[in-house]
Amino acid sequence: MTAFQDIISDKTPVLVDFAAEWCQPCKTMAPILKEVAGQLGEKIRIIKVDVDRNQQAAAHYEIRGVPTLILFREGKLLWRQSGVIPASQLIGIIQSFIK
């Protein structure tokens, strides 16, 4: 989990998508996250964490359902939500945390 800690400790906000291969809503989120990444570019970093392969991280952040999105900056949890969220809404949320 050290590499994960290094990633979320960056000054650039990091959106972590806790997901699973078997999860249909997670598959729905994939193109939404691509759209968000395309619109926000280098202002945000988006990573996907498979909860089945990374159970320690999922347990640490108390992931109870997938997809769960958590926004970090400099190691601090800024925002989290479970479930599918439209790109426009997600972009608005992220932009409210970008300086």
Distance CA 20, CA 98 (A): 28
Distance CA 62, CA 72 (A): 15
Distance CA 66, CA 98 (A): 25
Active-site residue (options: 19, 20, 26, 44): 26
Active-site residue (options: 7, 23, 57, 87): 23
Active site (annotated) includes residue 23: yes
Catalytic sites, residue numbers? 23, 26
